[in-house]
Amino acid sequence: MSELTELTIAEAARLLRLHSISATELVTAHVEHIARVDPLVKAFLRFTPELYEKQAEEADRKLKREQGGLLTGIPVAIKDVLCVKGVETTAGSQILRGFKPPYTGTAVSRLFDEGAVMLGVTNCDEFAMGSSTENSGYFPTHNPWDLDRVPGGSSGGSAAAVAAGEAMIALGTDTGGSIRQPAAVCGVVGMKPTYGRVSRYGLIAFASSLDQIGPFARSVEDAALVLEAMAGHDPLDATSSDRPNDVRRDLDKGVKGMRLGLPREYSQVEGMEPGVNAAVREAIKALEKGGAEIVDVTLPHTDYGLAAYYIIAPAECSSNLARFDGVKYGLSVQDVDNITDMYMRARRQGFGTEVRRRIMLGTYALSSGYYDAYYLKAQKVRTLIKRDFDEAFAKCDAIVSATSPVVAFPIGSRTEDPLSMYLCDVLTLGGNLAGLPGISVPCGMSQGLPVGLQVLAPQWREDVALRVARAYEVASGVKAEVASVG
Amino acid sequence: MEVHVQPRTRTKMFCGCAIGQLGDPPNSNVCEVCMGMPGVLPVINKAAVEACLKTALALKCEIPRHTKFDRKNYMYPDLPKGYQISQYDLPMSVNGVLELDGRQVRIRRVHLEEDTGKLIHAGDKLHKARESFVDLNRAGVPLMEIVSEPDIRSADEARDYAQALRTLLRTIGASEAEMEKGQLRAEPNISIRRYGTDDLGVKTELKNINSFRALHRAIEFEVKRQIEVVEAGGTVVQETRGWSEAEQRTFSQRSKEFAEDYRYFPEPDLPPLELDRAWIEDLRRALPELPGSRRARLISDYGLPAADAASIAADRDLADLFEAAARASGDNKRTANWVIGEVAPSGKSPTPDHLAEVVTLVATGKITRDQGREVLAESMNGGGSPSEIVAKRGLAQVSDPAAVRAAVEAVIAENPKAVQDYRAGKVRVLDFLVAQVLKRDRQIDRSLANDLLKELLS
């Protein structure tokens, strides 16, 4: 393994600036590493040599003229739900096989503007629906720490790529925990920004009111940098915010004098593994040692969060996925009797089981006569959950907990039981329902597998979440390591 | 009545595509947003909101503090996203009224939504077509939906309502409202009521109506059809019916028994709008005088007959011209006649001063009415001021009684047969004789010649 594939952005940027290495060398090191490792990890669905060759050359030209941006020459992997012009983008689904978007989404194009080099497209659960990447319409991805286990999901390919040193950074999307949970079980840093911080333009929607794009990295600082590069108002996304994006301003200020809340309900969730609990307790002790005051808080509606989430997200998905009708792009069926037959056959053939399940759940929840009992009620629960967080944040600056109640589980062990899969999100989806920023940082191991510490902060306070995560990283000396594969 | 109106905007409802023209090549005004590509998001067109608010204000609607967009879910190939962005339970405006010649039609709501694309079926009819093509030029074009309460009681009233609405929209500049360009589409919901009872029968909804005349005929047909159904002991079925222009009848399109469940829910891609009260007040202040009050003022301030006032007030430009020209000429009735008789049909517009000059030149006998028409036409074609044209062409009315008499006597002498016919009672021959007089001298006033001929032949 080349050490070039273990660098952080800060380290790589220094070498690039000093011309000790070139962007082309850095990319080549990653491409060679991918060739060795990815046949085992299977983090990538597709590679984009037509992009990375040109982008690396361009980065070298800029570096020579000392005109580099925040991410010049930095190799990035992009989740298969983010549209890149001319690059096959399928949301992990057969129904979009062959679809090449005619445009590049805002977050990705902002990374490109800062000089990032795109290595390829990473695997994910189909339409980002899942917690293990086993729902991919193509193949499962393997956890670099134990190839028999899942990398989490839905952004499992992005998490695994960063964990295995196949990419320095990656983009994922988080609707109920799809960045933080795979980051936790792959032992990397993953952040979901405040809803509205990063433009969703170009993100193939799963649940529009919950989806956010965020970074994977091997350090908190790198995650902050990538977030800063892509954040900010976008005239193409009416839900994006024009608040200032100085998310790195307090990064190194430590936690001295900060109050960190421990939600009683989060340590008692169903299925919490003792090893995970122990690692998180250790992490909290380290933060306390760093000068933080630990306070008990309560999020009384936590139990209803999962139910509300699994009404709202499928309801929105049932509408968002209506456009995949076999008429305009992707899979199309021939020799049909009529338009309904065409729709039914294309969608039955193109969508996997979990996607079909959620479309049906959501369609039912929005149906006349059921809307009030399901969708409307779930929205009311969502309001209560937001209020829970408001009240908790009156008593503390940030909330800390485990990211996932469990470590990476064996491939195939939960696929027959969707409810056990849904439980993976129980500690993360509250952050989506309330629109909060949240980050997962590695906090040690349990059964030889990575555990993640989640830090949730009030809306628009990414600076707080990053500061706490960074303080933990420094205090503990626990660093995201590159897993050795094979 | 539901009326869909395309507000006057440069771009579509949720993207930057141009509105385009009828007859543009298919899919030439489209982008990834209005084509419903994966990953795209809508952004609200402020000009469409403004046109909708102006319409709401002109219809005296209440404008709630908050409004939002919703998704109406159904799948059809002309609807690229699989849902239409519309407004469901918090429309832009509610509870208005349109004044209609002393009657009031209550307006239930005015809201904004987006149009769908168009399907073109290869071959003849849908069920026989081997292939169908999708044109998304119209997809995402903004539409205002104006919904009335059931206050319209006849085909006449429905037509008057639609025309009044059109006049209003054009006056405030919210829409061109050209029915033949599809910018105004009326969908009447029709039910009958037994005389003396309050219960409305089952309603049908009529579609594909593309002119005021068709609207009138379709309603008349449908009312008659429903009465026949009921009188024959049957029941009216709730359904959507199309109007066939070729056959001049309505036909069943879609029964409500198979009504879709649209699964409306709030559009998560568009935050709810909080409508700035100051902006609304600015729009209210900037509204021009509305046709109803202008018509009343043309009657009271200018003494115009009701019919003249109505036809002038129906067009804001004509009404502005009339008022300015009438002030300049000081002759309201004659100015109105010139506006209605000459300016309106020409499709052109003189300056108020030029029109006033023509009115005065003719009224004072300087030129004949026929000459006045020519002068006005030339002036509207950029020929300069009427007095310059008169001077340049040496026009002047012959008003010397002796000269007129000489010409009339000459014509009587030259046309003994005609004179004989006239005296025998063929009054229409007089027009021929007048024409002969004018042929001798075009500057003789037609009415003077007419009067003198009558006098000499009596």
* DSSP per-residue letters across A376-388: IHHHHHHHHHHHH
Least Cα separation, residue A375 to chain B (angstroms): 9
Could you tell me if A209 lies within 8 Å of chain B, comparing CB atoms? yes
Cβ atoms of B241 and B251 within 8 Å: the answer is yes
B356 — pLDDT class (breaks 50, 70, 90): very high
Least Cα separation, residue B43 to chain A (angstroms): 6
Please identify among residues 251-270 of chain B the ones whose CB lies closer than 8 Å to any CB of chain A: 261, 263-265, 268-270
One-letter amino acid identity for B373?
A: R
- Higher pLDDT among residues B438 and A465, named by residue: A465
Instruction: Return the minimum-mean-pLDDT range out of A337-341, B276-280, B440-444.
Output: B440-444
User: Given an 8 Å threshold on Cβ–Cβ distance, is B271 in contact with A239?
Assistant: yes
Our answer to whether residue A2 is catalytic in this structure is no
Residue range A340-395, pLDDT digits in tens: 999 999 999 999 999 999 999 999 999 999 999 999 999 999 999 999 999 999 99
CA distance A311 to A305: 10
User: Given an 8 Å threshold on Cβ–Cβ distance, is A319 in contact with B270?
Assistant: no
Q: What is the pLDDT of residue B125?
A: 63
Q: Which residues contact A291 (CB under 8 A, 6 or more apart)?
A: A254, A255, A256, A257, A258
Residue range B48-74, pLDDT digits in tens: 999 999 999 999 999 999 999 999 999
The closest CB to that of B37, out of A101, A208, A318, belongs to: A101
Residue range A278-312, pLDDT digits in tens: 999 999 999 999 999 999 999 999 999 999 999 99
Cβ atoms of A295 and A311 within 8 Å: the answer is no
Cβ atoms of B386 and B357 within 8 Å: the answer is yes
User: Given an 8 Å threshold on Cβ–Cβ distance, is B263 in contact with A319?
Assistant: yes
Cβ atoms of A240 and A200 within 8 Å: the answer is yes
Chain B residues inside the 8 Å CB shell of A235: 43
Catalytic entry in A136, A178, A219, A440: A178
CA distance B216 to A177: 59
* Closest A-chain CA to B15: A236
- pLDDT of B245 > 80? The answer is yes
Could you tell me if B243 lies within 8 Å of chain A, comparing CB atoms? no
Please identify among residues 181-200 of chain A the ones whose CB lies closer than 8 Å to any CB of chain B: 200
Mean pLDDT (whole number) for A267-272:
88
- pLDDT of B439 > 90? The answer is no
Mean pLDDT (whole number) for B132-146:
96
User: Given an 8 Å threshold on Cβ–Cβ distance, is B77 in contact with A327?
Assistant: yes
In whole angstroms, how far apart are CA A9 and each of A74, A91, A116, A192, B62? 7, 27, 11, 19, 56
Could you tell me if B72 lies within 8 Å of chain A, comparing CB atoms? no
- The per-residue pLDDT of chain A, averaged, comes to 96
Please identify among residues 339-368 of chain B the ones whose CB lies closer than 8 Å to any CB of chain A: none
Catalytic entry in A93, A154, A401, A446: A154
Structure tokens of A359? 């479309």
User: Given an 8 Å threshold on Cβ–Cβ distance, is B38 in contact with A91?
Assistant: yes
One-letter amino acid identity for B109?
A: R
User: Given an 8 Å threshold on Cβ–Cβ distance, is A208 in contact with B80?
Assistant: no
Buried residues in B15-51 as b, exposed as e (16+ CB within 10 A): bebebeeeeeeeeebbbbbbbbbbbbbbbbbeebbbb
User: Given an 8 Å threshold on Cβ–Cβ distance, is B83 in contact with A99?
Assistant: no
3-class DSSP string for A206-233 = CCCCCCEEEEEECCHHHHHHHHHHHECC
Q: What is the pLDDT of residue A1?
A: 42
One-letter amino acid identity for A196?
A: G
Q: According to DSSP H, which parts of B232-384 are helical? A: 277-286, 291-302, 306-313, 316-329, 332-338, 344-346, 352-363, 369-378
- The per-residue pLDDT of chain B, averaged, comes to 91
Mean pLDDT (whole number) for A462-468:
98
Least Cα separation, residue A323 to chain B (angstroms): 5
CA distance A154 to A176: 9
CA distance B103 to B269: 42
Structure tokens of A130? 């899942």
CA distance A17 to A60: 10
The closest CB to that of A102, out of B32, B44, B80, belongs to: B32
Q: Look at strands B189-190 and B132-135 and give their pairing.
A: unpaired
Chain B residues inside the 8 Å CB shell of A322: 73, 75, 81-83
Could you tell me if B35 lies within 8 Å of chain A, comparing CB atoms? yes
Say whether domain A3-253 belongs to CATH 3.30.40.10. Answer: no
* Closest A-chain CA to B43: A238
Under DSSP, the state recorded for A328 is S
Chain A residues inside the 8 Å CB shell of B140: none
Chain B residues inside the 8 Å CB shell of A363: 263
User: Given an 8 Å threshold on Cβ–Cβ distance, is B38 in contact with A329?
Assistant: yes
Residue range B158-203, pLDDT digits in tens: 999 999 999 999 999 999 999 988 999 999 999 999 989 988 899 9
Chain B residues inside the 8 Å CB shell of A366: 73, 263-265
- pLDDT of B257 > 60? The answer is no
* Domain assignments of chain A as residue spans, ordered by start: 3-253
CA distance A92 to A172: 13
- pLDDT of B405 > 90? The answer is no
Instruction: Return the minimum-mean-pLDDT range out of A210-224, A422-436, B351-365.
Output: B351-365
Cβ atoms of B153 and B107 within 8 Å: the answer is no
Express as a percent the part of chain A with pLDDT over 70. Answer: 99
Q: What is the pLDDT of residue A298?
A: 97
Could you tell me if B410 lies within 8 Å of chain A, comparing CB atoms? no
Most confident of A324-328, B280-284, B387-391: B280-284
User: Given an 8 Å threshold on Cβ–Cβ distance, is B269 in contact with A238?
Assistant: yes
Our answer to whether residue A178 is catalytic in this structure is yes
Residue range A124-137, pLDDT digits in tens: 999 999 999 999 99
- pLDDT of B395 > 90? The answer is no
The closest CB to that of B41, out of A91, A236, A315, belongs to: A236
Q: What is the pLDDT of residue B255?
A: 67
One-letter amino acid identity for B285?
A: R
- pLDDT of B399 > 70? The answer is no
Question: Which domains, ranges and CATH numbers included, belong to chain B?
Answer: 2-282 (no CATH), 292-393 (no CATH), 401-457 (1.10.10)
B452 — pLDDT class (breaks 50, 70, 90): confident
Chain B residues inside the 8 Å CB shell of A319: 71, 73, 82-83, 263, 265
Residue range A73-114, pLDDT digits in tens: 999 999 999 999 999 999 999 999 999 999 999 999 999 999
Least Cα separation, residue A301 to chain B (angstroms): 23
User: Given an 8 Å threshold on Cβ–Cβ distance, is B269 in contact with A83?
Assistant: no
B128 — pLDDT class (breaks 50, 70, 90): low
Express as a percent the part of chain B with pLDDT over 70. Answer: 97
One-letter amino acid identity for A79?
A: K
The closest CB to that of B41, out of A238, A315, A363, belongs to: A238
CA distance B332 to B363: 12
Q: What is the pLDDT of residue B420?
A: 87
CA distance A373 to B287: 44
CA distance B395 to B389: 8
Least Cα separation, residue B263 to chain A (angstroms): 5
- pLDDT of B101 > 80? The answer is no
User: Given an 8 Å threshold on Cβ–Cβ distance, is A236 in contact with B134?
Assistant: no
* Closest B-chain CA to A204: B39
* Closest A-chain CA to B73: A319
Our answer to whether residue A267 is catalytic in this structure is no
3-class DSSP string for B160-194 = HHHHHHHHHHHHHCCCCCCHHHCCEEEECEECCCC
Structure tokens of B414? 């030259």
- pLDDT of B391 > 60? The answer is yes
Chain B residues inside the 8 Å CB shell of A205: 38-39, 269
Q: Which residues contact B318 (CB under 8 A, 6 or more apart)?
A: B312, B339, B343, B344
Q: What is the pLDDT of residue B453?
A: 87
The model's pTM = 0.89
